[in-house]
Structure 1
Amino acid sequence: MIRKTASLALTGITVLGMASEAAAGGRAVECYEQVNRPAVYDTVYEDVLVSPAGQQVEYEAPIYGTRERVVQIASARVSYEIVPAITRTIYRSVRVDDGGYSWEWRIINGRKVLCKVRHKARYERVAEIVVVEPERRRRVVLPAEYESVAEEVLVRPEQRRIIDIPASYQTVVRRVVVREGSSSWRRVHIPRHCRY
């Protein structure tokens, strides 16, 4: 690039020298004109990575439910109890007095006389409790006791899912230089002015 600039500068000085010589009345031997070539551009479509590929982990919480089950809260056992006696009340006549004889004063036909009096036996009804079945000891078997309880159970465990996320790209449009612009000198022939 430096060499090209120096060459252009040298050519420019030469042309200026010729111009001044022509202005002074001399005849041009060679003539050059500057040729500018513009830069050439092209449109380039390029995919640019916006976000790289990766993985995302999603978690789903475990699901619990309730289940009822029967549990034994007391085992079978044996105990003993006293069965009271069975009694019955019966009534019977009991002789409370044998009777017999006694002496007592009586007035008969206005006369006071001592009489021997005969008494009958005297009975009374008395209640009596009789044992129908005596007291006894009885063996009692108590069955096991059960109870229904609710408990929490795992229906579905925690789940983990890995999701692949593809890379994300975006198309970017940009202009690129295909050929840079340049300047050069071209020898020209101008009749009656420059010999070619």
Structure 2
Amino acid sequence: MIRKHSVSLAAVAMLASVSGTAAGSRALECYEPLRRPALYDAVYEDVMLSPGGQVVDYDAPIFGTYQSVDQIAPPRVTYETVPAVTRTLYHTVKVDNGGYAWEWRLIHGRKVLCKVWRKARYARVAETVVVQPERVRRVVQPAEYEAVAHEVLVRPQQVRIREIPPSYGTVARRVVVREGSTSWRRVHIPRHCPD
């Protein structure tokens, strides 16, 4: 019954303030709200800021070069034809044995047939002779070599894994220590609200 009375008093007070102002009637009781704000406090706690993890670093491989003399063609045997060696020889040969012959001659304006003696005739002729006949010669060709640059791996790729530990920090969190509340307090205002 007391609770009903206080609720009805509050309702009456609010209605009275509205209706009293509007109608100009006299207030019997007056109440004002008494608000108590909420009370807060800061709570500090350690929290994980970063979970940590792993970082993988890669170092590229390192290559170098070295030179060596490599065989690029093995020794081989070929055959080639050597042409014949010739020489030109000159010698004298008899081309006419000579002897008696008849020939026309003009002597003192007279044309007469005369018997004459002719010597043997010789001529110089050339003759090509083979000094060395054509032959097949065996040719041995040596191996061929060349300087070649080779790429070699000096250091392979390296992988490094770094562990990153988790990080923690202290953060403040606002908490309610006491909830806010509202209550009603009876007030006396001269010429408006009696005791």
Report the TM-score, using the length of structure 2 for normalisation: 0.56
Instruction: Tell me which residue corresponds to 2:3.
Output: none
Instruction: Tell me which residue corresponds to 2:84.
Output: 85
5+ residue gaps, structure 2: 1-38, 179-195
- The whole-number CA distance in structure 1 between the counterparts of 2:104 and 2:41 is 172
Q: Aligned residues: percent identity?
A: 69
* Gap change, CA 1:113 and 1:43, over 3 Å in 2: closer
Written as runs of structure 1 = structure 2, the 5 A alignment for 1:43-82 is: 45-65=44-64, 68-82=67-81
What's the C-alpha RMSD, in Å, of the aligned pairs?
3.5
- The whole-number CA distance in structure 2 between the counterparts of 1:88 and 1:112 is 51
- The whole-number CA distance in structure 2 between the counterparts of 1:150 and 1:176 is 76
Give the letter aligned to residue 164 of structure 2.
I
Query: Does 2:101 match 1:102?
Result: yes
Deviation at 1:126, TM superposition (A): 1.9
Instruction: Tell me which residue corresponds to 1:167.
Output: 166
* Gap change, CA 1:58 and 1:114, over 3 Å in 2: same
Give the letter aligned to residue 98 of structure 2.
G
Give the letter aligned to residue 77 of structure 2.
V
- The whole-number CA distance in structure 2 between the counterparts of 1:57 and 1:111 is 135
Deviation at 1:160, TM superposition (A): 0.8
Instruction: Tell me which residue corresponds to 1:192.
Output: none
- The whole-number CA distance in structure 2 between the counterparts of 1:170 and 1:69 is 62
Deviation at 1:118, TM superposition (A): 1.0
Written as runs of structure 1 = structure 2, the 5 A alignment for 1:148-159 is: 148-159=147-158
- The whole-number CA distance in structure 2 between the counterparts of 1:69 and 1:94 is 70
Written as runs of structure 1 = structure 2, the 5 A alignment for 1:171-190 is: 171-174=170-173
Deviation at 1:50, TM superposition (A): 0.9
Report the TM-score, using the length of structure 1 for normalisation: 0.56
- The whole-number CA distance in structure 1 between the counterparts of 2:163 and 2:149 is 42
Instruction: Tell me which residue corresponds to 1:133.
Output: 132
Deviation at 1:83, TM superposition (A): 0.8
- The whole-number CA distance in structure 1 between the counterparts of 2:122 and 2:170 is 135
Deviation at 1:86, TM superposition (A): 1.3
Written as runs of structure 1 = structure 2, the 5 A alignment for 1:18-29 is: none
Give the letter aligned to residue 134 of structure 1.
P
* Gap change, CA 1:108 and 1:61, over 3 Å in 2: same
- The whole-number CA distance in structure 1 between the counterparts of 2:42 and 2:109 is 175
Deviation at 1:171, TM superposition (A): 2.2
Deviation at 1:159, TM superposition (A): 1.3
5+ residue gaps, structure 1: 1-39, 181-196
- The whole-number CA distance in structure 1 between the counterparts of 2:154 and 2:147 is 20
